[in-house]
Amino acid sequence: MRILITGGAGFLGSHLCTSLVSQGHDVICMDNFLTGRPENIAGLMGHDRFRFIKYNVCDYLHVDGSLDAVLHFASPASPRDYLEYPIATLKVGALGTHKALGLAKAKRARFLLASTSEVYGDPLVNPQPESYWGNVNPISPRGVYDEAKRFAEAMTMAYHRYHRLDTRIARIFNTYGPRMRIRDGRVVSNFIVQALRGEPLTVYGDGSQTRSFCYVDDLIEGIVRLLLAPSTEPSVDQGTDTVPYLRHNWTIHHPVNLGNPREVTVLEIATMILQLTGSSSGIKHDDLPVDDPKVRRPDIQRAQALLHWSPTTSLEQGLSLTIDYFREQLKASHSSPSH
């Protein structure tokens, strides 16, 4: 396949580029480096199945030649990023999605949207199934990200229904692993960097809020399976309670949760990281951010049934790999000329 990945130099996008190139696909990576990084794709530069285009997907979008798939991953994704770039976040969710869908339509390509568990907001249902409509404050500071993705989902489904475009929507839950940035503002990277530096780990509120963390390799496997899944879904007994979505006439074109259903509190993840790093850092508490979700856990029955996918990396194993990565990153930053 010949595949375009917008936001391809970001955390998830770059892992997707690496995975798809290794599987023999031709990959075009598009990124404007607002939050993506050149070093994430440095190992792919010069590869005969990889091409990079520095470009803002919100502008007029054109790619020479045929395309088999367009994967729209361009967007600030961490709280620190989308609070710093609120308008850019809204624009890439709206204009960027429109441009990417238009390109997929023109090329008769399959389209996959990277959506997010944030469409569920501060959920009143736990775990969150794809059929849950969410509890989102559209005018809160984090609403710029939530609503950008909700609009992107609506636009994607409109193109599917009106233009009969072959579309997929991945609702991605908290993901962690190598290539996260030192200062990206996500809880796992924050805690690991603070622990390795001997600084107190900043826990917002009392730490009882829950999250579900998926290691990046597992998440990428789920995305690739969703991308390659046939439009005609496998036959599943519609009378069973194990796949209730099929009774709602949901198809592969509707959203699919991708994440790890193991739910832990923020305080538990902080304690685990302190143990794994061997750090003597303490824990300090700060005020909860506005509209911070109290719970977050994916219902992945749909992914299990339709994609035969479940995460396999344990939290302890994934955290250890991520800690090793950040150790090297911090060592490299201290040995750089700027230090």
- Pair of tokens at residue 193: 């960097």
In the chain, the amino acid numbered 1 is: M
In 3D space, the residue among 131, 317, 119 whose CA is nearest the CA of residue 218 turns out to be 317
The β-bridge partners of 114 are 170
Question: How far apart are alpha carbons 295 and 308 in whole angstroms?
Answer: 26
- Options 85, 145, 159, 176, the catalytic residue: 145
Radius of gyration of the chain (CA): 20
With H, G, I as helix, E, B as strand and everything else as coil, classify residue 65. Answer: coil
Residue 325 designated active-site:
no
Question: How far apart are alpha carbons 264 and 213 in whole angstroms?
Answer: 8
Helices 266-277 and 187-196 sit at what angle, rounded to 10 degrees? 40
Question: How far apart are alpha carbons 66 and 48 in whole angstroms?
Answer: 17
Angle at 51 between CA 45 and CA 54, to 5 degrees: 95
Catalytic residues: 145
